[in-house]
Amino acid sequence: MPAPGENFRINADRLWDSLMEMAKIGPGVAGGNNRQTLTDEDAEGRALFQTWCEAAGCTMGVDKMGTMFMTRPGTDPDALPVYVGSHLDTQPTGGKYDGVLGVLAALELVRTLNDLEVQTKHPIVITNWANEEGARFAPAMMASGVFAGEIDMDYAYGRTDLEGASYGDELKRIGWVGDEEVGARKMHAYFEYHIEQGPILEAEEKSIGVVTHCQGLWWLEFTLTGKEAHTGSTPMEMRVNAGLAMGRILEMVQEVAMAAQPGAVGGVGQMKFTPNSRNVLPGKVVFTVDIRTPDQAKLDRMRAEIETRGAAICEELGVGCAIEPVGHFDPVTFAPELVSRVRSAAETLGHSHMDIISGAGHDACWAAKVAPATMIMCPCVGGLSHNEAEEISKEWAAAGADVLLHAVVETAEITA
């Protein structure tokens, strides 16, 4: 069969309508979403997604981590499927498109193939990975990490949120414990379409990011032990001040990341003081340092320096210090043959494009461990993401979805 021409495109309005419909579930307080993993809102989003996929002729499978697999049959049932997915869970103050665009663009791809009565040799499986964000249960990309054999399922089940609820209990509570062994499924290839979550594509005025790599990551959880004491009557020289140690460590992380420029980031997004009372010096401070760079050696050097200097800061202040890695993956190189398929699809469709390294982590990073995998990106306004003001245009959304359609169909091989 000849490769589809440049008129082979998705229905941009239907994709946009689906995005807006899904965005109504788990609304945020400022126009975005709060549909955190394994919450009732996540369950509601899953149910809507299941209804849509089954209406498009897909059959559902769910694995023991709660990841959803919606299969459109191919003409060769023995052919390994082409998986196309991302995630429906969001940050607490997330946007409407992070993850959701990739899942619903995959659904739109199937809807378009149905409209045109196109058959493919390989089945196509739309995938909604559970707990991509890692906001409620660290690490991020947890279910895809278990799928790739990089994270132990019992460890994952035992992860708890700030209220002490465990992943396993919450998955059971919302009724989404599947029956499939995690990772039993084999993939012919994996594609993920995602907003860039950074400023490059918009600044360069490119509609398509041809993602060649993804930077590596460490999440280092620091637990600092101080001495609870009165903030008013305790003399400065008597304090065992875990809060001060945290402040100095944050400053040091900034310094390490700036010294590693260009191409490195470091910071902290979450911390917890105990007892977290205004006039009690904290007995315990827990926070997670997030460092990332595409350069393997630099990533390892940054981790070593932050751990060594963090321990020294605590020793100087007499504060106890424990450091536990709670998230990690090495820099990822995506499958060159799929990357060039994405690039040529953008060219066929006449979309401006550029090669790009993903700054954010994605389920594709783990999928790349077990199958040829790659990603497609579209710009986002101001490069903003993990913020309720996250925004894209309908045109950007459709351009990437068209590239996804072409690259996936070429990989799944049209038969009719």
Q: Is 102 in the site for ligand HGY (CB under 6 A)?
A: no
Considering CB distances under 5 to 8 angstroms, the limit depending on partner class, which of ligand HGY, Mn ion, none binds residue 42? none
CA-based torsion, 87, 168, 323, 288: positive or negative? positive
Q: Is 134 in the site for ligand HGY (CB under 6 A)?
A: yes
Where does this chain touch ligand HGY (CB under 6 A) — which range of 70-78, 131-139, 164-172, 184-192? 131-139
Calculate the alpha carbon distances from 235 to 161, 279, 284, 319 in Å. Answer: 35, 14, 19, 17
Q: Is 294 in the site for ligand HGY (CB under 6 A)?
A: no
Helices (H), ranges, 206-279: 242-259
Residue among 41, 42, 108, 132 that touches ligand HGY (CB under 6 A) = 132
Cβ proximity to Mn ion, 99 vs 123, nearer residue:
99
| Nearest distance from C-beta of residue 355 to ligand HGY, angstroms | 19
Q: Is 145 in the site for ligand HGY (CB under 6 A)?
A: no
65, 177 in Cβ contact below 8 A? Answer: no
Considering CB distances under 5 to 8 angstroms, the limit depending on partner class, which of ligand HGY, Mn ion, none binds residue 363? none
Instruction: Using CB under 5 A, list all residues that contact Mn ion.
Output: 98-99
Whether omega for the bond prior to residue 325 falls within 30 degrees of 0, making it cis, is no
Considering CB distances under 5 to 8 angstroms, the limit depending on partner class, which of Mn ion, ligand HGY, none binds residue 140? ligand HGY
Report the DSSP beta bridge partners of residue 325: 220
| Nearest distance from C-beta of residue 98 to Mn ion, angstroms | 4
Considering CB distances under 5 to 8 angstroms, the limit depending on partner class, which of ligand HGY, Mn ion, none binds residue 41? none
| Nearest distance from C-beta of residue 140 to ligand HGY, angstroms | 4
Q: Which residues contact 389 (CB under 8 A, 6 or more apart)?
A: 30, 31, 32, 95
| Nearest distance from C-beta of residue 267 to ligand HGY, angstroms | 12
| Nearest distance from C-beta of residue 18 to Mn ion, angstroms | 17
How far apart are the C-alpha atoms of 352 and 406, rounded to whole Å? 15
Cβ proximity to ligand HGY, 66 vs 134, nearer residue:
134
Considering CB distances under 5 to 8 angstroms, the limit depending on partner class, which of Mn ion, ligand HGY, none binds residue 99? Mn ion
Residue among 15, 109, 130, 140 that touches ligand HGY (CB under 6 A) = 140
- Tally of CB atoms within 10 A around 232: 6
Where does this chain touch ligand HGY (CB under 6 A) — which range of 103-111, 133-141, 240-248, 407-415? 133-141
Q: Is 32 in the site for ligand HGY (CB under 6 A)?
A: no
| Nearest distance from C-beta of residue 103 to ligand HGY, angstroms | 14
Indicate the DSSP class of residue 140. Answer: T
Name the nearest CA neighbour of 250 among 297, 290, 278. 290
Where does this chain touch ligand HGY (CB under 6 A) — which range of 7-15, 129-137, 184-192, 307-315? 129-137
DSSP 176-224: ---SBPTT----SEEEEEEE--SSHHHHTT-SEEEEEEE-EEEEEEEEE
Tokens 């993602």 label which residue? 211
**Encoding tokens for residue 48?**
């809507």
Cβ proximity to ligand HGY, 66 vs 361, nearer residue:
361
| Nearest distance from C-beta of residue 77 to ligand HGY, angstroms | 34
Residue among 63, 89, 133, 390 that touches ligand HGY (CB under 6 A) = 133
Cβ proximity to Mn ion, 5 vs 269, nearer residue:
269
Name the nearest CA neighbour of 147 among 87, 72, 90, 63. 63
Cβ proximity to ligand HGY, 134 vs 400, nearer residue:
134
Name the nearest CA neighbour of 268 among 284, 251, 281, 244. 251
Query: What H or E segment, with its residue span, contains residue 261?
Result: none
| Nearest distance from C-beta of residue 92 to Mn ion, angstroms | 11
Cβ proximity to ligand HGY, 133 vs 196, nearer residue:
133
Helices (H), ranges, 229-295: 242-259
Cβ proximity to ligand HGY, 23 vs 360, nearer residue:
360
143: helix, coil or strand? helix
Among positions 320-379, residues that touch ligand HGY (CB under 6 A) are 360-361
Whether omega for the bond prior to residue 379 falls within 30 degrees of 0, making it cis, is no
| Nearest distance from C-beta of residue 298 to ligand HGY, angstroms | 18
**Encoding tokens for residue 30?**
């400022």
How far apart are the C-alpha atoms of 396 and 380, rounded to whole Å? 8
Cβ proximity to ligand HGY, 98 vs 402, nearer residue:
98
Report the DSSP beta bridge partners of residue 209: 354, 377
327, 134 in Cβ contact below 8 A? Answer: yes
Binding site for ligand HGY (CB under 6 A): 132-134, 140, 360-361
